[in-house]
């Protein structure tokens, strides 16, 4: 039996498998998220190698007290009370990364957080979130900015601790490589759009932009309600600014600095 522990978004995952080579691959792929000497893990994952048919759509459903996660070449059963997940999957890096994204979309609900389609930047312990769907300029901006640490150019973890909101690096990147594990206090939120003008969003604009860019699969009503509540609280605290990073890159740098 081989094992590895990762810390992603301040949640510690202990991952075990009989497939030692696969655990070694995880150690290599997630090297910036490895942890040692932690007091206790938050969640346990046991991976069993299993060839599953392809073509399964991603879904997360509640069955009794368990959650069943399905996707292309993986299936998992998560017992929330025992904080234990059994994963049946092809021992393949891409399958595991997709599983982990889907799993995080579920567990963050219980850790006062969400995964947001966004680019996360950090500088001087302050975080800047650029929220937007595919092709809105997240990866382009990640490659162009200087003097910032990139937390992710695709999916950033947003969590609340007491009354403060933090953003965290994830290993769920797009084109940008070499993300380091960091968490910083959220300072500003931007929404990426095609409009060239810069516009301040009100509560509803912020709320809807956040909600529509939340990476979320659970079909469970209670989970959805928790997400709505969380997004409401973020939107009360931060009013987003609509920007087009592709045509107004200089403006964005100025807005961050202001």
Partner 1 sequence: MSPDLFQAKISRNPKVAWQKIEDKIVAVHPEKRRIHIIYDSGVSIWEALAKPKRFEEIVDFILEDYEVGENIVNKDVGNFLKVLKDKELISLEE
If binding means CB under 8 A, how many residues of this protein chain bind partner 1?
A: 17
Provide the Cα torsion 228, 199, 144, 148; round to 10°. -60
Which of 36, 55, 221, 250 is the binder for partner 1 (CB under 8 A)?
221
Q: Does 56 bind partner 1 (CB under 8 A)?
A: no
Query: Contact, 3 vs 23, CB < 8 A?
Result: yes
Residue 224 in contact with partner 1, rule: CB under 8 A: yes
Based on the shown chain and the rule CB under 8 A, indicate whether residue 232 belongs to the binding site for partner 1: yes
Q: Is 240 in the site for partner 1 (CB under 8 A)?
A: no
Instruction: Establish if 203 lies at the interface with partner 1 (CB under 8 A).
Output: yes
From 68-76, 77-85, 215-223, 246-254, span contacting partner 1 (CB under 8 A): 215-223
* Whether 234 contacts 164, CB under 8 Å: no
Of the pair 29, 61, the CB lying nearest partner 1 is at 61
Q: Does 218 bind partner 1 (CB under 8 A)?
A: yes
3-state DSSP call for residue 211? helix
**Alpha carbon of 227 to those of 16, 88, 179: distances in Å?**
30, 27, 26
Least separation, in Å, of the C-beta of 232 and partner 1? 6
Which of the ranges 34-42, 97-105, 129-137, 210-218 carries the binding residues for partner 1, by CB under 8 A?
Answer: 210-218
39 Cβ partners below 8 Å, 6+ apart? none
* 159's tokens: 């969590």
Please choose, out of 16-24, 177-185, 193-201, 217-225, the segment that lies near partner 1 by the rule CB under 8 A.
Answer: 217-225
Candidate segments 39-47, 68-76, 110-118, 205-213, binder of partner 1 by CB under 8 A: 205-213
User: Is residue 144 within the footprint of partner 1 (CB under 8 A)?
Assistant: no
58 binds partner 1 (CB under 8 A): no
- Nearer Cβ to partner 1, position 162 or 221? 221
- Least distance to partner 1 from the beta carbon of 106, Å? 12
Neighbours of 95 (CB within 10 A): 18
Q: Which is nearer to partner 1, 98 or 181 (CB)?
A: 98
202 is an interface residue for partner 1 by CB under 8 A: no
Q: How far is the CB of 243 from partner 1 (least distance, A)?
A: 22
146 binds partner 1 (CB under 8 A): no
Q: Catalog residues that contact partner 1 under the rule CB under 8 A.
A: 203-204, 207-208, 211-212, 218-225, 228-229, 232
């Amino acid at each position: 039996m081989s094992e590895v522990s990762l810390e992603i978004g301040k949640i510690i995952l202990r991952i075990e498998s009989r497939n030692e080579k696969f655990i070694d691959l995880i150690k290599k792929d997630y090297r910036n998220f490895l942890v040692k000497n932690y007091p206790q893990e938050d969640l346990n994952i046991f991976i069993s190698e299993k060839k599953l048919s392809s073509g399964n759509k991603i879904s997360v459903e509640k069955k009794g007290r368990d959650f069943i996660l399905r996707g292309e070449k993986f299936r998992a059963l998560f017992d929330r009370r025992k904080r234990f997940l059994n994963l049946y999957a092809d021992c393949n890096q891409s399958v595991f990364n997709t599983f982990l994204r889907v799993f995080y979309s579920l567990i963050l609900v219980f850790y006062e957080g969400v995964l947001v389609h966004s680019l996360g930047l950090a500088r001087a312990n302050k975080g800047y979130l650029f929220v937007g769907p595919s092709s809105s300029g997240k990866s382009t901006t990640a490659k162009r900015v200087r003097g910032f640490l990139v937390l992710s150019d695709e999916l950033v973890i947003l969590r609340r601790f007491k009354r403060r909101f933090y953003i965290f690096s994830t290993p769920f990147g797009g084109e940008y490589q070499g993300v380091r594990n960091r968490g910083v206090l959220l300072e500003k939120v931007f929404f990426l759009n095609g409009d060239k003008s810069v516009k301040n969003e009100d509560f509803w604009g912020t709320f809807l932009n956040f909600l529509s860019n939340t990476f979320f699969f659970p079909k469970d009503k209670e989970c959805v309600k928790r997400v709505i509540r969380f997004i409401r609280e973020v939107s009360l605290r931060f009013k987003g600014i609509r920007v087009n990073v592709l045509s107004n890159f200089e403006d964005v740098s100025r807005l961050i600095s202001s």
